[in-house]
Chains A and B, each alone.
Chain A
Amino acid sequence: MEQFIQLLISGIAQGMIYSLVAFGYNITFSTSRSFNFSHGNFLMLGGVVGLIFFINNQVPFLAMVLAVVFVGLIMGLILYKTSIEPSLKSKSNYAWILATLAFGIILKNIVEVFWSTDDFRFDSPLGNAPIRIMGIGVLPQEILIIIVAICIVVAVESFKKYTIFGKAIVAVSEDKHTASLMGINQQFVILFSFLLSSVIACLAGVLVAPITMVGATMGTVLGVKAYAVSIIGGLESGYGVLLGGLIIGLSEAFTARYISTGYKDAPGFLILILVLLFLPSGIFGKKIFKKV
């Protein structure tokens, strides 16, 4: 029983990491029908910048977080200008997938060439000693991840629901043309969504660093799994990522324990395929009637 709860908690923590990264896909998909296919590499950049500032140079924690946010903003802007804006203008409906893939490949390769190809430890400022409650050990970092992930998702969703600018974002995702007729600057809303998504990815990088180690490849698998999470929950839903994250995180934890670590990713991807076979736009996705 204790082991079961232990697995439950680490599964949830892992799932919330996926949810947080996946949320970045949803934010931009709703406004622009596109997202950053190399989101995982943005996460990696956040982790690397965090490591350089906080561990290597002993910069205060908060200052490091600010630096990471700043890097996220800059990268989001560059991504938007070089990959998203031209893709949305082009007629091809998959240009954005390839353009953001290319961007991520460049980013990862730059980190490898100019920084390092090794993995580094990132000690959590909260310490590495697990907190014991009734025989169940939980890392403080895991608790932090769960809290921060849920807070960010709730905060952004509330922002969309209760503020006027948030409503503009919703308007653009519902109907671009009508939104721009209402005087909403559609380009700015899309840019904003990419900046927000990049910042969240970079922060997620710092957040997971103590658990995964920091290195140029840390984001690739995370990015792909978060992508699956996002699709399972529904790319157009906000809170759907939380459920998607739980599904993948828990299936991983339990498969690794009870079947084999080598197969831990398999059930999640099988669930993904099954969900899409029956619900083509994810669990919380909307069914769209195509107008002819």
Chain B
Amino acid sequence: MKKIIYGILLLLPFLLPQMVDNPYYIQGILCRIIVYAMLVASLDLIVGYIGDVSIGHAGFFAIGAYAVGILTSTQELNSDSSMTWFPHIPFFVALFIGVLLTALAGFILGFPALRLSGPYLAVVTIAYGLLIYTIINEQEYLTNGTKGISLEPIEVFGVKFGGSNYLYIVYPFLIMVMYVIHNLTKSYWGRAFEAIKYSEVAASSCGISKSYYKIWAFVISAGIAGLAGGFFSQLDAYVAPNTFSYNFSVEFLIALIVGGVQSILGNILGASVMVIFPDLFTKFNDYRLIIFGFSLLLVLFFMPKGLAGFVNLIKKRFTKKKDGHYIEALIERASAVKLFDELKENNDQVAVQLKDLTMRFGGLVAVNELNMTIKKGTVHGLIGPNGSGKSTTVNLLTGIYPPAGGKVQLFGKSIIAESTYKRAKLGIARTFQNLQLFSDMTALQNVMVGMHNSFTSNLFSICFNLPKSQKEEKNVETKAFAWLQFVGLEDIAFTEAKNLSYGQARLLEIARALASNPSLLLLDEPAAGLTAGEIEKINILINKIKESGISVLLIEHHMDMVMAVSDEVTVLDFGKKIAEGTPNQIQNNPTVITAYLGTHETSFH
């Protein structure tokens, strides 16, 4: 029922050209809102989902607009121009080429974006925008320089789509763009974007390749911006370079924030404000930017979710929360899930072997020629005083730091050359000493990020929400829920991670790590800051994990816990291994006692 109402509402604008006689309102206002909304939505992918600031989207927009402008140009309309090339090809072919060209430009911008963030990336986007602007301005034989290009209206099979009829062309594209963005951002791709935004380290530990997703995000965003640009060129049937200035990029950034990030409604609202506002208050047009500036400041500090957040707040009053049926069905399905997959049959009895592993920070040797073996299916404790190199060892194992020397082998294979996300794919999962949850996502979504590598749907089937990807999403959700049940967090499955208690957050980190189906689990101080009761829960969990055949490396300061669950313990001090053996041997080792408590003389004099 709800879907039918939405469907009818979506179709309504198609009637507008018949009902409203004035082409100014349809082409001048409505079509402009539609084109700008696409551009704002493309910016949202970068700013809202990836979390980088781009002040160069006007450049992408310009490439799209000029591709269509140049490729569809005719000599008759530009007779006194300095242009020498008039291909005059059909609009949609030109549009397609424009989108490809802009996507390519986005691909090129993606590379600096991998290593840069904040003000460093922002300046690169500005530089890109200005370079594109300069090229358009100067290549007069292609673009007619500052004087611009005049276009003829679109003609498809003899039907002209100028004036109000232009709505029939742009509106279906708006729906398609928004549908694709909606599906993309709600899928495992969207969660990967979000994960990278909150914590690159945690995302790569879940097997997410930052390079892959970030570059794709720039390609998709640029492509959509180029599409919007192509349509823009037909709004006034004229393109000129001064439209695509630095200020244009800034205004769109403002429109995005005022409308509200991560929201299709917000994108449309932001674009509408930008178009309608100056039109409504022509008298105040001089003050337009003052009002824009003030509204941006107000939204930034008092309405962080923008106008859309305000609308959603009202909507929430009239709609119910996630209904009980949904959760019941989830519980029902989760009961049939088998959690621990069969571990790959592996004759190697050694899970991890470290040989002469060394790490230096400047002059400090954090880990010094460490040799250690974790036997398959065992719990290996790693202890030592603060600063003895335990967490550094974990970071070397997961590939966050490049070691200064030595070898790391996983089931007999050297993994030293692999990056963090590849090691996660090979079966290493971890938790973090200082929690690294994706705070705006629900507990369930956090676990689903952990299961990132079990997704196989391709980009196309995600964007159009094909049955295959729907089914996959449902299966993963079910299994993620089962993992929450495993650690005892099913009641807070739909609570955002930032609202969890400390103990719950620690358990969620374990669930997320387990969900990636690892063969080796690294627990970095899982009991830090927990109560005795909570520690007992973690002990039981570790034993269950061990029973499933997963090898565990446990770093912990709670000696009772380490001694109770470990099969073998290694002790580090100042980056060097000082002892190794069964818990019993370690407890009676005089070197270990000295490292922890000091010698007899120093402690009593």
Residues of B within 8 A of A277 (CB): 111-112, 115
B134 sits at the interface (CB 8 A) = yes
- Of A9-17, A91-99, A138-146, A188-196, the segment with at least 4 beta carbons within 8 Å of chain B is A91-99
B120 sits at the interface (CB 8 A) = yes
Residues of A within 8 A of B292 (CB): 102, 105
Residues of A within 8 A of B492 (CB): none
Q: What mask results when residues 276 to 294 of chain B are scored 1 for a CB within 8 Å of chain A, else 0? A: 0000000000111110111
Knowing A102-B300, A263-B134, A265-B130, the reply to whether A276 touches B116 (Cβ < 8 A) is yes
Distance of A125 Cα from B286 Cα, bound (Å): 34
Q: What mask results when residues 227 to 270 of chain A are scored 1 for a CB within 8 Å of chain B, else 0? A: 11001000100000000000000000000000010110110011
Shortest C-beta distance, B302 to chain A (Å), equals 9
Interface size class of A (residues with CB under 8 A): 35 or more
Q: Are A106 and B201 in contact (CB under 8 A)?
A: no
Taking a contact as CB atoms closer than 8 A, the residue among A90, A97, A108, A224 that contacts B304 in the complex is A90
Which of chain A's residues 141-199 have a Cβ closer than 8 Å to chain B? none
A82 sits at the interface (CB 8 A) = yes
Q: Are A269 and B127 in contact (CB under 8 A)?
A: yes
Q: Are A105 and B116 in contact (CB under 8 A)?
A: no
Q: Are A280 and B115 in contact (CB under 8 A)?
A: yes
Q: What mask results when residues 344 to 383 of chain B are scored 1 for a CB within 8 Å of chain A, else 0? A: 0000000000000000010000000000000000000000
Knowing A228-B123, A272-B124, the reply to whether A113 touches B51 (Cβ < 8 A) is no
Distance of A147 Cα from B381 Cα, bound (Å): 64
Knowing A102-B296, A292-B201, the reply to whether A93 touches B51 (Cβ < 8 A) is yes
Taking a contact as CB atoms closer than 8 A, the residue among B116, B123, B297 that contacts A102 in the complex is B297
B253 sits at the interface (CB 8 A) = yes
Q: What mask results when residues 247 to 291 of chain B are scored 1 for a CB within 8 Å of chain A, else 0? A: 100100110010000000000000000000000000000111110
Main secondary structure of the interface of B (DSSP, over half): helix
Q: What mask results when residues 365 to 406 of chain B are scored 1 for a CB within 8 Å of chain A, else 0? A: 000000000000000000000000001000100001100000
Shortest C-beta distance, A290 to chain B (Å), equals 7
Taking a contact as CB atoms closer than 8 A, the residue among B123, B290, B300, B361 that contacts A110 in the complex is B290
Distance of A220 Cα from B247 Cα, bound (Å): 9
Distance of A277 Cα from B110 Cα, bound (Å): 11
Q: Are B289 and A108 in contact (CB under 8 A)?
A: yes
A31 sits at the interface (CB 8 A) = no
Taking a contact as CB atoms closer than 8 A, the residue among A93, A231, A263 that contacts B120 in the complex is A231
Residues of A within 8 A of B53 (CB): 94, 97-98
Q: Are A90 and B130 in contact (CB under 8 A)?
A: no
Which of chain B's residues 88-123 have a Cβ closer than 8 Å to chain A? 111-112, 115-116, 118-120, 122-123
Shortest C-beta distance, B576 to chain A (Å), equals 21
Residues of B within 8 A of A220 (CB): 246-247
A30 sits at the interface (CB 8 A) = no
Residues of A within 8 A of B301 (CB): 86-87, 90, 95, 99
Shortest C-beta distance, A226 to chain B (Å), equals 11
A19 sits at the interface (CB 8 A) = no
Knowing A260-B138, A262-B134, A289-B361, the reply to whether A97 touches B290 (Cβ < 8 A) is no
Taking a contact as CB atoms closer than 8 A, the residue among B119, B254, B286 that contacts A235 in the complex is B119
Top 5 A-B residue pairs of the complex, sorted by shortest distance between their CB atoms: A106-B293, A269-B127, A109-B289, A102-B296, A105-B293
Binding site for B on A (CB under 8 A): 29, 35, 82-83, 86-87, 90, 92-95, 97-99, 101-106, 108-110, 112-113, 220, 224, 227-228, 231, 235, 260, 262-263, 265-266, 269-270, 272-273, 276-277, 280-281, 289-290, 292
Binding site for A on B (CB under 8 A): 47, 51, 53, 111-112, 115-116, 118-120, 122-124, 126-128, 130-131, 134-135, 137-138, 201, 246-247, 250, 253-254, 257, 286-290, 292-294, 296-297, 300-301, 304, 361, 391, 395, 400-401, 432, 434
20 contacts between A and B (CB under 8 A): A90-B304, A92-B300, A93-B51, A94-B51, A102-B292, A105-B296, A109-B287, A109-B288, A224-B126, A227-B126, A235-B120, A262-B138, A269-B131, A270-B131, A272-B123, A273-B127, A273-B128, A280-B116, A289-B361, A292-B395
